[in-house]
Structure 1
Amino acid sequence: MTTPTPDDPQPAVPYGTPDAPRIAVRGEAHLEVDPEIARIGITVASRGKDRRTALDDLTHRNTTALNLLKSYGEAVERIETGTFSITPQLKEGRGERIHAHHGRVHITAELTDFTALGELTTRLADLDLTRVDGPWWALRPNSPAHRTARQQAVREAVQRAREYAEALGTTLAALVELADIGAENTPPAYPAAPGGAMRSRALYGGAPDTAAAPLDLEPQRQHVHAQVNARFTMAPPQL
């Protein structure tokens, strides 16, 4: 066993010292802001007695849906094609006789112009064998709302620490530590699938005689949260 010398580094004191008392506080912020983007899911389907017919119909309907999305220009910021499938349907009974083939393509579209959202959603739902899900409202990953919430949480932490110090008749001296809550194990900011808090609609296209009236879709307000832990030292109070 060795004896520590004055030159050895001293262990940190977790709760401060009488000459430098430490205050630990949490700062929180909760904002409610308008969404910046809306996502919709489009599922195009086809049916045919043989594989080629089902595939040709699916290709045609997929092209029709994509052309409709692209016709809205900058209002539709992103279009992505997801899963594609052609599935045989077997007849009931013995053997492996195929009764029909079913095709399916899933498309995701991201819009920034909400004035076009209701009309586009309705027109997509008017297409044959087309299902529309959504909208799912969200903020961009780099939205200023996230920065505003973080800054507000820091300001609240400082204000709370000052109030504690004032209650003791003293003032803050220095910031020792500032950390996000769970900074070492932070979950992804945006999950792969929309969360349960988002509203959802499902529409099924048919063969209407006249164009359907556009849906009136009200954007869902987004909740932004931020939390920080902060530790300060303060001048020794006179107790």
Structure 2
Amino acid sequence: MTTTSTPTPYGTPETPRVAVRGEAQLEVDPEIARIGITVNARGSDRRGALDDLTRRNTAVLDLVKSYGEAVEKVETGAFAITPQLTHKGRGERVRAYHGRVHVTATLVDFTALGELVTRLADLELTSVSGPWWALRPDSPAHRDARQQAVREAVQRAREYAGALGAELVALVELADEGAESVVPVAMAAPPGVTRAAMQGAEAPPLDLEPQRQTVYAHVNARFTMSPPRL
């Protein structure tokens, strides 16, 4: 009768196992910056509010796209035309219509960011929020952090084995602990700036300093080592 031996999770006296955790934390420059743009319109009739909203939205898109390759992506989000009712009388009467559309722009050239934000905020009934700094999902920084975490795990295991007069023999398991995650990219951005706050001459471009991003990586590793000299 043939019996199959079940490997012990903690090794044996002849082939002990050592389990370690490798960690890495890198600080890198952001690769992209996102800004949110909200265009508003208000009129006494639906068609007038919609026409104003369309005109202002077109002005925003034309301005953003005029920056060419500095802008990687422009996306239109929520759009709404909402009637505002009067609170007097028994019937439901529309007092005005409020329109809103939200646009998100992703920039890769940070030298143009301050000027674009200032010019957008100077447009009629337009609010700007951000920037939010970030790395791309496929950024090399993620790979670098993972590799550094693995090297740190190997070094830590080798030090443990060396303290026992032993040497690492083989890798048994390498487990990703959820890998890296970027620290929330929102910076301390002021509330949206509107045209009403910037009356007068054209405002100078804002000086926006990119916020460095922190990338983490964690791995669990198990190795076998030679018998220790105790």
> Do both proteins adopt the same fold according to a TM-score greater than 0.5, normalized to the shorter chain?
yes
Contact 1:136 1:199 in 2 (8 A): no
Deviates more, 1:94-103 or 1:67-76: 94-103
2:86 equivalent among 63, 72, 91: 91
Gaps of 5+ in 2: none
1:170: Cα distance to partner? 1.1
Contact 1:44 1:58 in 2 (8 A): yes
Aligned to 1:204: 194
1:40 equivalent among 1, 22, 35: 35
Q: Deviations over 1:121-142 (max 9, x none)?
A: 0000000110101000000111
State the identity %: 69
TM-score w.r.t. the length of structure 2 is: 0.94
2:60 equivalent among 36, 59, 65: 65
Task: Work out whether 1:180 is the aligned partner of 2:169.
Answer: no
Report the Cα distance in structure 2 between the residues aligned to 1:197 and 1:214, rounded to whole angstroms: 21
Gaps of 5+ in 1: none
Report the Cα distance in structure 2 between the residues aligned to 1:230 and 1:37, rounded to whole angstroms: 33
Contact 2:178 2:218 in 1 (8 A): no
1:19 equivalent among 14, 19, 42: 14
Report the Cα distance in structure 2 between the residues aligned to 1:124 and 1:197, rounded to whole angstroms: 20
What one-letter code is carried by the residue in structure 1 that aligns with 2:157?
Answer: A
Q: Deviations over 1:98-150 (max 9, x none)?
A: 00000000000000000000000000000011010100000011111101100
Report the Cα distance in structure 2 between the residues aligned to 1:238 and 1:32, rounded to whole angstroms: 41
Computed over aligned residues only, the root mean square deviation of the Cα atoms, in angstroms, reads: 1.8
1:199: Cα distance to partner? 3.0
Report the Cα distance in structure 1 between the residues aligned to 2:76 and 2:29, rounded to whole angstroms: 27
What one-letter code is carried by the residue in structure 2 that aligns with 1:203?
Answer: V
What one-letter code is carried by the residue in structure 2 that aligns with 1:138?
Answer: A
Contact 1:86 1:102 in 2 (8 A): yes
Aligned to 2:113: 117
1:211: Cα distance to partner? 1.0
1:238: Cα distance to partner? 1.8
Q: Deviations over 1:141-195 (max 9, x none)?
A: 1111101100000000000000001000110000000011147xx9xx68xxx94
Report the Cα distance in structure 2 between the residues aligned to 1:67 and 1:84, rounded to whole angstroms: 18
TM-score w.r.t. the length of structure 1 is: 0.91
